[in-house]
Structures are given as C-alpha cells and as structure tokens.
Amino acid sequence: MSAPLSGKPHVFLDVKIGEEIIGRIVLELFADTCPRTVENFRALCTGEKGIGKKGFPLHLKGCTFHRIIENFMIQGGDFTDHNGTGGESIYGDKFEDENLEHKHTSAGVLSMANAGPNTNGSQFFITLSDTPHLDGKHVVFGRVVKGLGVTNVLGKVKTDGDKPVERCEIYDCGELKSGDSFGIVDDDGTVDTYPQFPDDSDVNFEEATMDELAKVVNNIKDAGNTFFKKQEYNTAIKKYQKSLSYVNYIKEYNTSKRSDFSDADANTLDSLAVSCLLNHALCSSKLGWFDKAISDCSKALELDNTNPKAYFRRGQAYNLSNDTDAAKADLEKARELEPNDKGILKELDTVVKKIKAQREKEKKIYAKLFQ
C-alpha cells in the first residue's frame, strides 16, 4: 500500500499512548492553496530546520497531543511546553493566516490552532467530526488519508478536563515520497497483510462476499495463532484484537449499508467473534490476566451460550484466580455440553479436589478456635 502520485506532500505521524503503539496517521497537505502553512508543517515533521529561536528542535517527534475533546478534535504541536502555551513555527514565533476558504466539513480535517488572527505557530488539530463553527477562523491545510482509526482511538482516551491522563505522543514523524509505502501494514511474515484499522484497508467491504470477508478475519486470527505457538502472547493478543475489530467493522458496515446482509451472515460473524474472543482469553490466562480472560469468555457466551469451550476457559480462569465455586459451576456446564471431553473432566476433577482441600483446611482452622 503506497503513497499516491497526487503531487501533494504527504507526511506521517506515528502515535503511541503510554508505551502502547497505536498506529500511523498519514496526512495529505494542501500545498497548492496553503504553501507557507504546509511548508511549516512538512518541515516540522522532518525536523530539517534544526534548532528554533526558543532553543528547541523544530520537530514534532516526541511532541504530544496535549488537548483532546471527544467527538471534537485532538490537538498537538506544542513541542516546547506540551500544554498548549508553547511551540514555534519555522518562520519564527508566529506567522499570518493563509487562505481561510477551506472548511471543517468532516472528521480528519487538519487545521492550525491559534490564539486569534495571524497567530499560527506549530500547534495543529485534527477534527473528529464536522466543526463548522471553526470555519474562517482556522487555516485548514490538509486531511487524513490513512489512520482515522488512530485519531478515533486518541479521541476516546481518558482525560482530566481536556488533558489526556496518559501521555499521547508522536514518537516518530516524517515525509512520504511518491511510491513510498504508507507504513500501515505490519511486515511480520504472516498472512496478516491488512492495516490495523479496517477503514484504511483496500478490502471492498461493499461488494465482497461473506466468504471473502471471513477469510480476511481468519487470516488475521491465523497470524495470532502463529505468534501463540511461538509463545509470543502479547503479539498474539494484538492480532486477536485486530481480528475482532474487523469483525465488528464488517458487522456494522453490513448492517447499515448492505441490503443483502442476512441472518446467516450475522451468525458467521458471531462465530468468528467467539473464536477470536476465546483465543484472546487463552492468551490472557497465559499472561496471568485472569479478569480479562473471564471478561472475554463472558462476551463469547453472550454470543453463544451453548459453547462448551467458553465455559471451560472461563472455568479455568476462575480456578487460576482462586474462585473455585465459580470455576466448578462453569466446568459443570461445560461437562453438560461435552460430557466426554477429557480436558473438561480433568479440570473439573482438579477443581473439586481443590474445593475439598479448602473445606478440610477450614474445618481444621475452626476446630482449633473452639479447643
């Protein structure tokens, strides 16, 4: 997936929240109508101008999104103070407005933050919805072409006021030349050749058959299985999360935009979701995240309350978190559904013996109290 030959500059922002890498935002810049504003932002992405007058590198790398308002916008670019009071343009402190004709018509609009007319510096924002009240007041100079999913994740972070609780950082940035890869697909040698976020994908969700869409989800899930076999559970979890995001996207897209979406298609997607959730649960248990494993299995059971594997894995997670009564109840339900499954019978036997040992221990403790 390569940058198009549009003739307009393209830049990228690689984003993480805390230490978790979220993904890449690719922006097309309107150099034909806002040349000075675009050159400022492009150079801030490459860092090619060196040190500014304030003594800081003129570079967005390491800069934060310091202000986030859900369903409105994400704001960054203050690489000096990281709080909205600083920053600096490549031309000096501030520069004049340039072409206020472009509108804030949708999510993904790139616009300059300011403190009034002709006060542009390095701070910018990306809209999360249409914001017409900003028209004529802020210079729109670009748009998101890939990575709206990243901006949506940023838009939902927990904030204190408008300030993100966790650090939301541009950990890398730069310019893409025509023919360069967008850099939104992990080259990890697996069959997962899809972007992290479905709306960045080249998959034709409108016309693809359910079999074709299911293959996409299964390819991503199979990549997770590959990492699970290598005991790389954190990476496997990310693949299972990604496969679930594709399932949810396909379901929402088909429900709202396709008249041929059938009950059979919905059942296919539910089955895929259950499989992904249970694989995710297994990884969570391997990592000691038993509450997450229990939550995953509960979500799976909401979709299919007769799934023995869901009861089994939730029972295992309850057992590992020492909630033996809940474990026993789930494992008995799993046995009811699969009476000859050796794994279920073995786990249930272990839990029953564990409960018995706990009861004996409690009896001895109480006996000593009354001696």
Annotated catalytic residues are 67, 72, 75, 114, 125, 134, 138
Q: Which of 19, 25, 21 is nearest to 41 (CA)?
A: 25
Residue 236 amino acid letter? A
Whole-angstrom distance, CA of residue 95 vs CA of residue 79: 17
Which residue(s) pair with 26 in the sheet? 12, 146
Rounded to the nearest 10 degrees, the angle between the axes of helix 290-303 and helix 308-320 is 160
Q: At 9, phi and psi to the nearest 5?
A: -65, 145
Q: What are the strands, taking DSSP E only, across 272-316?
A: none
> Residue 39: CB partners within 8 Å, gap ≥ 6?
31, 90
| Beta strand residue intervals within the chain, DSSP E | 10-17, 20-29, 65-69, 73-76, 109-112, 124-127, 140-146, 159-160, 163-164, 168-176
Are 139 and 97 in contact, with CB atoms under 8 Å apart? yes
Please provide residue 146's backbone torsions phi and psi, each rounded to the nearest 5 degrees.
-145, 140
